[in-house]
């Protein structure tokens, strides 16, 4: 049953006379408090914040002066008291509320400045269970929610980045209703994201994969000029997960990344991370969230050249991801082609200077590579809901491959199979990938028919061969990967026609026997992985 409103109109301006400051992040709080004090605002504080303000020589009351009760239980209980919450929730223009305040000696609190215990940071740093639980804030969210609900009279500030806006707002000692509304909206968003982080951590810690209620929260990193298209609005929100990638990377040069840049850069870096840097340099080139070339080689520059050779036409204006530090030689090669974004774990000073010639080229240093095996969640919106799933962290190296044909693959074919399957995992379904000697030979992505994906990949290989002046496309003698089972033999026959001699696929089709028979007929080696990698 809904609670009836007293329908008392909110005043436009409220004079700030008493402020309660209780922050975990002390950045800027002393300067803010000093400015408030200069305006004659009474300062009330708690614990470490009180100590910081008093240490700066500011006149500050302890919250116990409002409650008449000391902080107890190591500070767990200090603000959960009518002396605080009455001062936050009282409707100032209501006679009954005013009488209650007078009767119980409750002081009105006009401004609340709070930021919460660093739960997200402790979680991201891998804190143990007791430490993480101890960093769940109770009093802070309660005061934030109370203040935000009563924004008709109370100003709530939860983000240090809003301190300057607050000081500008109270130049005349008051806050306007529109400002209090805006701060209240931000406050509820903050507590929602905080609670989301806590609930998701519990689900993860207790292996509760799909709880009844699921919320995903984030902090706005930047508002974008537009979304996928100019008529769409967009923002980039970060969750606090410390997984190296576009969300944590440092932009070394270039203009703001667009919505599409971020989406493609994430796809590129996640793909290149499949290839361990200690084994070989690797390069992935992405266009519209699909790889148009991937390669490993003895040097990073050679890996880039080999990746580019797969489809140099599509690579124009693409995203380049590297699994090792970007060096000068590789940078010299990359700047020959128009490229939107480069992302690498790190960048040498020489490479930075070379890339600087292209002022609009965005250069990102991620500080490391994401671990493909790390669990996590992915989300996609649908009308009226969210689709949540665990991250696809399956690795072909961890699978027990089953040879299903008369001929087993050679060692080289097996290496090419694994390489192709790693790439296929990151290609939109239906996906078919040809690979030879650690290099993609042709990629077919996102077709309604797997046969068409196989044919398109072969056509791409033929075009690349012509551009490179090769006598035959690299699909000749290649391994081919399908990210899901081959439902009919026609897809396999298309791959064989392109020159593939080995096939890797999940298996599991009703017509597996038919597909295996076709492979045996052409002396093609085939292995089943037992794992598929749909990507929609």
Instruction: Give the residue numbers annotated as catalytic, written as ranges.
Output: 149, 288
Question: Residue 482 contacts by C-beta under 8 Å, 6 or more apart in sequence?
Answer: 424, 430, 431, 432, 450, 491, 503, 504, 505, 506
Could you give the angle at the alpha carbon of 533 between the alpha carbons of 209 and 424, nearest 5°? 145
Chain-centroid distance of CA 389 in Å reads 15
For the record, the structure tokens of 141 come out as 């969210």
Question: What HEC string does 454-487 produce?
Answer: HHHHHHHHHHHHHHHCCCCCCCCCCEEEECCCCC
Pairing of strands 155-157, 111-115: parallel
Task: Tell me how far apart the alpha carbons of residues 130 and 140 are, in angstroms, rounded to a whole number.
Answer: 19
Residue with tokens 């997960």: 241
Cβ–Cβ < 8 Å for 332, 352: no
Task: Tell me how far apart the alpha carbons of residues 58 and 439 are, in angstroms, rounded to a whole number.
Answer: 66
Quote the DSSP letter at residue 258.
P
Task: Tell me how far apart the alpha carbons of residues 417 and 324 are, in angstroms, rounded to a whole number.
Answer: 23
Cβ–Cβ < 8 Å for 520, 406: yes
For the chain, the helix, strand and coil percentages under 3-state DSSP, each to the nearest 5 = 40, 20, 40
Q: Which of 12, 43, 36, 183 lies closest to 109 in space, CA to CA?
A: 43
Task: Tell me how far apart the alpha carbons of residues 199 and 188 are, in angstroms, rounded to a whole number.
Answer: 16
């Amino acid at each position: 049953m809904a609670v009836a409103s007293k329908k008392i109109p909110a005043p436009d301006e409220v004079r700030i006379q008493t402020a309660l400051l209780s922050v975990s992040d002390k950045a800027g709080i002393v300067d803010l408090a000093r400015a408030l004090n200069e305006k004659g605002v009474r300062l009330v504080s708690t614990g470490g914040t009180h100590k910081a303000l008093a240490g700066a020589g500011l006149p500050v009351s302890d919250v116990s002066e409002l409650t008449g009760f000391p902080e107890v239980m190591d500070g767990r209980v200090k603000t959960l008291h009518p002396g605080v919450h009455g001062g936050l929730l009282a409707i100032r223009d209501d006679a009954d509320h005013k009488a209650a305040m007078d009767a119980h000696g409750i002081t009105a609190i006009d401004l609340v400045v709070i930021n919460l215990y660093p739960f997200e940071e402790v979680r991201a740093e891998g804190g143990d269970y007791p430490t993480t639980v101890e960093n769940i804030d109770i009093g802070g969210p309660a005061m934030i929610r109370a203040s935000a609900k009563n924004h008709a009279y109370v100003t709530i500030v939860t983000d240090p980045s809003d301190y300057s806006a607050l000081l500008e707002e109270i130049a005349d000692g008051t806050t306007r209703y529109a400002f209090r509304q805006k701060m209240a909206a931000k406050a509820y968003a903050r507590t929602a994201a905080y609670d989301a982080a806590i609930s998701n951590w519990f689900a993860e810690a207790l292996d509760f994969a799909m709880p009844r209620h699921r919320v995903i929260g984030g902090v706005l990193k930047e508002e974008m000029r537009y979304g996928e298209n100019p008529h769409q609005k967009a923002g980039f929100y970060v969750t606090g997960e410390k997984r190296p990638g576009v969300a944590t990377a440092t932009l070394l040069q270039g203009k703001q990344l667009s919505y599409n840049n971020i989406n493609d850069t994430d796809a590129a870096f996640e793909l290149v991370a499949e290839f361990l840097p200690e084994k070989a340099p690797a390069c992935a080139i992405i266009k519209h969230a699909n790889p148009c070339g991937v390669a490993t080689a003895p040097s990073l520059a050679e890996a880039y050249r080999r990746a580019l050779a797969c489809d140099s036409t599509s690579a124009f204006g693409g995203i380049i991801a590297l699994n090792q530090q970007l060096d000068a030689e590789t940078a010299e090669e990359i700047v020959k082609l128009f490229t939107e974004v480069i992302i690498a774990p790190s960048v040498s000073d020489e490479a930075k200077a070379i890339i600087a010639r292209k002022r609009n080229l965005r250069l990102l240093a991620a500080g490391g590579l994401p671990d493909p095996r790390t669990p996590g969640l992915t989300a996609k919106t649908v009308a009226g809901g969210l689709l949540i799933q665990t991250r696809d962290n399956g690795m072909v190296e961890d699978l027990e491959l089953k040879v299903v044909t008369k001929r087993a693959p050679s060692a080289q074919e097996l290496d090419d199979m694994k390489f192709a399957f790693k790439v296929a995992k990151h290609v939109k379904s239906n996906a078919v990938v040809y690979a030879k000697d650690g290099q993609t030979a042709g990629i077919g992505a996102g077709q309604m028919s797997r046969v068409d994906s196989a044919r398109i990949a072969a056509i791409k290989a033929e075009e690349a061969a012509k551009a490179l002046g090769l006598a035959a496309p690299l699909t000749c003698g290649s391994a081919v990967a399908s990210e899901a089972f081959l439902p009919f033999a026609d897809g396999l026959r298309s791959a064989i026609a392109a020159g593939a001699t080995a096939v890797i696929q999940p298996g599991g089709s009703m017509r597996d026997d038919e597909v295996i028979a076709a492979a045996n007929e052409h002396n093609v080696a085939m292995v089943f992985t037992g794992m598929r990698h749909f990507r929609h």
